[in-house]
Chain A
Amino acid sequence: MRARLESLLLPLAVAFGFVACWHFAVKWTGSDIFPTPRQVLTGTWELVEKGVLFKYIVASLFRVATGYLLAVFVGIPLGLLMGWFTRFRMALNPAIQVLRPISPIAWIPVAILWFGVSDVAPIFLIFLASLFPITVAAMAAVQNIQLVYIRAARNFGIGGLELFKKVVLPAALPQILTGLRLALGVAWLVVVAAEMIAVNSGLGYLIIDARNAGKRYDLVVAGMAMIGLIGLGLDFLVRRMETLDEVRWGLSR
């Protein structure tokens, strides 16, 4: 109980200290462009009243969800196959290792060229950003499976697709989940940049638009804060999944 309370109070104390420092820093420097915490709050409220905040959050979440889920459906099977079949891995791994270090930002011009200024372009970027961590995690997860599980399953007459379903996938799941969490973080990171392509909704759009249309830094910071808080929420959700019995065995902590 005491530890629980501490784990809540300590971060809150830090947050409070941070907001206080921020407030006084703005006061002392006398900046009239950079907002105080209070101005950010009123700015946020303004967005709520105009009815755009909720709309933008949904738009961003929709793009992230679509791109991310596409990456999950492509990346997990791809990674599993690469982990299982040596030939498959030999053929594809170099390509993946070449593509992986290219920042999703670098794909923006290409995305615009291919998909124009539409919802598809940011979704594509999010897809790309999440695909590599998911694929690589699934591949490594399969390679790390203890041989004894595979042997035991074979001994019980399990093979082929059933072996995949009953042993390979569950054995790889903890590490895959870690990859999924990582990828979700990256996807959320990229949505802002992706929405700077001239779409006209989303938290990334909000930030760029607030700056361009009248240097409204209170709204810029409000958008940043929303992104941070939602990121925290997403991470919390995935961490909840990590406490399930099916995966907990393979995760430290």
Chain B
Amino acid sequence: MIMQMNPHSTETRSPRAKIAVRDLWMTFKSPDKTKPDVHVLEDINLEILDGEFVCIVGPSGCGKSTLLNIAGGFFQATSGAVRIEDKVVTAPDSRHIFIFQENGVFPWLNVEDNVGFGVKRSTMAERKKVVEHYVEMVGLTGFGKTYPRELSGGMRQRVEIARALAAEPDVLFMDEPFGALDYLTRLRLRAEVTQIWQRERKTVMFVTHDVDEAVQLADRVVVMGKRPSRIRDIVAVEVPRPRDLDDPECRRLRDHIFGVMGLDHSGRATEIRGVGAAEEEDETEGKVVNLADRR
């Protein structure tokens, strides 16, 4: 009887919402007023269920990374908030691990020590078991003593995934994790990530600008528009995994997403303004920002 009176009951949130983005706005203010403020995100509302795989797609420079960084606790939103399990995110948390495009694997540690970096177990034997387990899961058995500089880009990204999983988080934020890899490696890693996710059932927020990638991976695809961006559409992908991109439903969804983004599937702009041109513009801006970002 008392249990039912529990004030922490989940009635105040939607059922099983793991991550809730509410009325989120983000503006980067120019520190010295020499440049105009950059309005990046407008009124973002999104709920992600426990164990759900959500992809965020949109043209480059639209604010995907910004959104992920706010959810990861690295950036502070201008207004609104991200809640994870009803707690407002204010700082990075070892239960929510970020995987970076530029590969954050520590080059001074070998594979084993990298994977063990965030392991929370206390005894050596347990740590070793966890490390071995995840090294094996990403297919790097036998490379435990190898240093990152001796690995290919794809293998390094696997190390980063194993390191994230070994910390036993319940949320993974992946920011274009395969963006720097060649096409074939990317395909292979997508398949592997799907398998791992099916086994581990982490809640995943995965940013990509590759629509195919999103359709292949996600339960739902969040489509964002040009900056200042709002969510243009949220597309559920109800195709069983592993997914074949030639599957008619996948094709339909991809075309739909391209349509929402303002392109037909040959890449021609269907809107008045050329999206390609806009992207180039954003790309250069992004570079400037990255420099500023390094403090």
A residues adjacent to B (C-beta < 8 A): 86, 146-149, 151-152, 154-157, 167, 170-171, 173, 245-250
The answer to whether B108 and A247 touch across the interface, beta carbons within 8 angstroms, is yes
Q: How far is the CA of A151 from the CA of B106 in the complex (A)?
A: 11
The answer to whether B107 and A250 touch across the interface, beta carbons within 8 angstroms, is yes
In the assembled complex, B153 has its CB within 8 A of some CB on chain A: no
Q: Which of B93, B167, B294 contacts A147 (CB 8 A)?
A: B294
Q: Which residue of A lies closest to B109 (CB)?
A: A170
Known: A149-B106, A151-B74. A156 touches B167 (CB 8 A): yes
In the assembled complex, B154 has its CB within 8 A of some CB on chain A: no
Known: A248-B149, A249-B148. A155 touches B98 (CB 8 A): yes
Main secondary structure on chain A at its contact with chain B?
helix
Known: A147-B294, A155-B92. A167 touches B106 (CB 8 A): yes
Tell me the minimal C-beta distance from A205 to chain B in angstroms.
Answer: 42
Q: Which residue of B lies closest to A166 (CB)?
A: B117
In the assembled complex, B59 has its CB within 8 A of some CB on chain A: no
The answer to whether A151 and B149 touch across the interface, beta carbons within 8 angstroms, is no
**Which chain B positions have C-beta within 8 A of A173?**
108
In the assembled complex, B100 has its CB within 8 A of some CB on chain A: yes
Tell me the minimal C-beta distance from A83 to chain B in angstroms.
Answer: 11
What 0/1 readout, one digit per residue, does chain B (56-72) give for beta carbons within 8 Å of chain A?
00000000000000001
Q: How far is the CA of A158 from the CA of B94 in the complex (A)?
A: 9
**Which chain A positions have C-beta within 8 A of B109?**
170
Q: How far is the CA of A173 from the CA of B100 in the complex (A)?
A: 23
The answer to whether A249 and B104 touch across the interface, beta carbons within 8 angstroms, is no
In the assembled complex, B182 has its CB within 8 A of some CB on chain A: no
The answer to whether A154 and B103 touch across the interface, beta carbons within 8 angstroms, is no
Known: A156-B94, A170-B108. 9 other contacts (CB 8 A): A147-B294, A148-B100, A148-B103, A151-B100, A152-B100, A156-B97, A156-B167, A167-B106, A171-B106
In the assembled complex, B37 has its CB within 8 A of some CB on chain A: no
The answer to whether A249 and B107 touch across the interface, beta carbons within 8 angstroms, is yes
In the assembled complex, B179 has its CB within 8 A of some CB on chain A: no
In the assembled complex, B110 has its CB within 8 A of some CB on chain A: yes
Q: How far is the CA of A146 from the CA of B93 in the complex (A)?
A: 20
The answer to whether A147 and B293 touch across the interface, beta carbons within 8 angstroms, is yes
Known: A148-B100, A149-B106, A152-B100. A249 touches B147 (CB 8 A): yes
The answer to whether B108 and A246 touch across the interface, beta carbons within 8 angstroms, is yes
In the assembled complex, B228 has its CB within 8 A of some CB on chain A: no
Tell me the minimal C-beta distance from B122 to chain A in angstroms.
Answer: 15
In the assembled complex, B102 has its CB within 8 A of some CB on chain A: yes
Known: A147-B294, A248-B149. A152 touches B94 (CB 8 A): no
The answer to whether B107 and A151 touch across the interface, beta carbons within 8 angstroms, is no
Q: How far is the CA of A156 from the CA of B295 in the complex (A)?
A: 21
Q: How far is the CA of A146 from the CA of B100 in the complex (A)?
A: 12
Q: How far is the CA of A186 from the CA of B295 in the complex (A)?
A: 32
The answer to whether A155 and B94 touch across the interface, beta carbons within 8 angstroms, is yes
Q: List 28 A-B contacts (CB under 8 A).
A: A86-B295, A147-B295, A148-B103, A149-B104, A149-B106, A151-B92, A151-B98, A152-B100, A155-B92, A155-B94, A155-B96, A155-B97, A155-B118, A156-B94, A156-B117, A156-B167, A157-B92, A170-B108, A171-B108, A245-B108, A245-B147, A246-B108, A248-B147, A248-B149, A249-B108, A249-B147, A250-B107, A250-B108
Tell me the minimal C-beta distance from A143 to chain B in angstroms.
Answer: 9
Tell me the minimal C-beta distance from B162 to chain A in angstroms.
Answer: 13
The answer to whether A152 and B108 touch across the interface, beta carbons within 8 angstroms, is no
What 0/1 readout, one digit per residue, does chain B (140-173) give for beta carbons within 8 Å of chain A?
0000000111000000000000000001000000
